[in-house]
Amino acid sequence: MDQPLISVIVCTYNGALFLEEQLQSILTQTYSNIEVIITDDASTDATCQIIQKYSTNPAITINLNKENIGLQKNIELSAGLCKGSYIAFSDQDDIWLPQKIESLYAAIGKHSLVYSDSKLIDNKGNDLHKSLSDFRRFKNIYHSKGFGIYNAVSGHTTLGTRDLVMQSLPIPTGFYHDWWIAIQAANLNGIQFLNKKLTLYRQHDNNLTENIIEKELGSRPFYKRYEEYSRDLKWLELLKNNPLEKDKSFYTEFYNLYLLKKQGRFVWPLFWFLIRHQKSIFFFSKKNFLSQLFEIRKRARSEREV
C-alpha cells in the first residue's frame, strides 16, 4: 500500500544541545515517506551548523531566517513549505520512538488530528517515571468546551491533516499553536487519542513550549493573576469569535460572564455557569470533585480582590 507523504516541522532556536538527537530519531522512523522541514529562527548558538550537516539529505528542507520572527510565525512559515498530506510537529529537544509516525498514521483514520502520550525525561535523558497522562485525562475529542481552561493535546504528540493545519493559520498571537490547532480539529472531524507513549518529552528550563511538571506542580505568584486573567479573557474572546466554533453560544456566555470579574465582586452567575458545565470544562482535568469546586470558586472571584 502506498504511503502518503508526511511532513515533519522542526522549528529551531538555540537548540544545539539536543537537536541532533531529535533529528536522528525523526530520520530513523519506521514510516519512510517523510519530509522534514527545518526552519531556524536566527539562532546564535551552534544550531545552524548542526542543521547544515543535513543539507545534502533529499528528505530535508532547510530554511534559515535572517531575523528572529518568533515561534508562531516560524511555524506558519514552515507549514507553508510542507508538501505532505499530513503534518507532524516536532520540538527541537525530544526523542521520537521509531514507530511514532507509523503508529499515528495508522490511528488517524478520518479524524482531523491524532495525538498520543509521552514519557517524560530530564535534560540528560533520564526517565522521570512520569507521563503526560499523569497530568491530563486523554480522550477522543469532538467538541471544544474543554479547551476553555485546559489543554491536553501537546503539539509534539500530534499528526494532523494538511487541511486542518492550513485552516488553523494564522496562529493567534500570544497563544500556543498546538492548543489552537487542537480546537480547530475538534470542530472539524474530531481528535483521536492513541494510547501509546511515542515520544520521550524532555523537561528542562529552556523548553520553547512548556515544562509540564513546572506548570502542573508549581505555584503562580499573586502578581501574575491579573495578567493571566487578561490573557484568559482574550482567549475566550478568540474562541467565541472562531469561525469554525460549533458551540458559539457557550463561549459567548462564558466570555461575557468572565468579563464581569472586573466589577470588583464575586461573580455568582459565572460560578453557576461553571458548575452547570463542570463536566465539559474539566474534560481534560484529573482534579477530583472538590478540587474542581475550588478551581471554580477561584475562577469566579473578582480580580480586584488581588
Among residues 180, 223, 174, 147, which one has the least CA distance to residue 79? Answer: 180
Alpha-carbon distances, residue 257 vs 14, 115, 254, 298 (angstroms): 42, 32, 5, 14
What is the predicted pLDDT for the residue at 212?
42
* Spatial separation of the C-alpha atoms in residues 154 and 211, rounded to whole Å: 11
Q: Which tens digit of pLDDT belongs to each residue from 19-70?
A: 999 999 999 999 999 999 999 999 999 999 999 999 999 999 999 999 999 9
Among residues 173, 148, 82, 106, which one has the least CA distance to residue 285? Answer: 148
Under DSSP, the state recorded for 176 is -
Q: Which tens digit of pLDDT belongs to each residue from 142-169?
A: 999 999 999 999 999 999 999 999 999 9
Q: Which tens digit of pLDDT belongs to each residue from 76-106?
A: 999 999 999 999 999 999 999 999 999 999 9
pLDDT band at 209 (very low <50, low <70, confident <90, very high): very low
For residues 6 and 105, is the Cβ–Cβ distance under 8 A? yes
What is the predicted pLDDT for the residue at 239?
97
Cβ neighbors of 123 (< 8 A, separation 6 or more) are 17, 18, 202, 203, 204
- Kindly list the structural domains of the chain, giving each domain's residue range(s) and its CATH number in brackets, ordered by start: 6-215 (3.90.550.10), 219-305 (no CATH)
Cβ neighbors of 306 (< 8 A, separation 6 or more) are 222, 225, 226
What is the predicted pLDDT for the residue at 304?
60
* Spatial separation of the C-alpha atoms in residues 100 and 278, rounded to whole Å: 34
Alpha-carbon distances, residue 39 vs 82, 90, 162, 171 (angstroms): 11, 11, 18, 17
- Name the pTM for this structure: 0.91
Residue type, 201: Y
What is the predicted pLDDT for the residue at 264?
83
Percent of the chain at pLDDT exceeding 90 = 88
* Spatial separation of the C-alpha atoms in residues 69 and 64, rounded to whole Å: 11
In this model, does residue 220 exceed pLDDT 60?
no
What is the predicted pLDDT for the residue at 151?
94
What mean pLDDT is predicted for residues 216-228?
62
pLDDT band at 302 (very low <50, low <70, confident <90, very high): confident
pLDDT band at 303 (very low <50, low <70, confident <90, very high): confident
Three-class SS state of 117: strand
In this model, does residue 218 exceed pLDDT 60?
no
Q: Compute the half-sphere exposure of residue 264: CA atoms within 13 Å on the CB side of its CA.
A: 0
Percent of the chain at pLDDT exceeding 70 = 92
Q: Which tens digit of pLDDT belongs to each residue from 56-80?
A: 999 999 999 999 999 999 999 999 9
* Spatial separation of the C-alpha atoms in residues 41 and 52, rounded to whole Å: 14
| H or E stretch covering 199 | strand 191-202
Q: Which tens digit of pLDDT belongs to each residue from 123-141?
A: 999 999 999 999 999 999 9
Q: Which tens digit of pLDDT belongs to each residue from 238-295?
A: 999 999 999 999 999 999 999 999 888 899 999 999 999 999 999 999 999 999 999 9
Under DSSP, the state recorded for 68 is -
Average pLDDT score, the chain: 92
Burial of residue 154 (CB within 10 Å: 0-12, 13-18, 19+) is: buried
Among residues 77, 94, 78, 75, which one has the least CA distance to residue 17? Answer: 94
Under DSSP, the state recorded for 128 is E
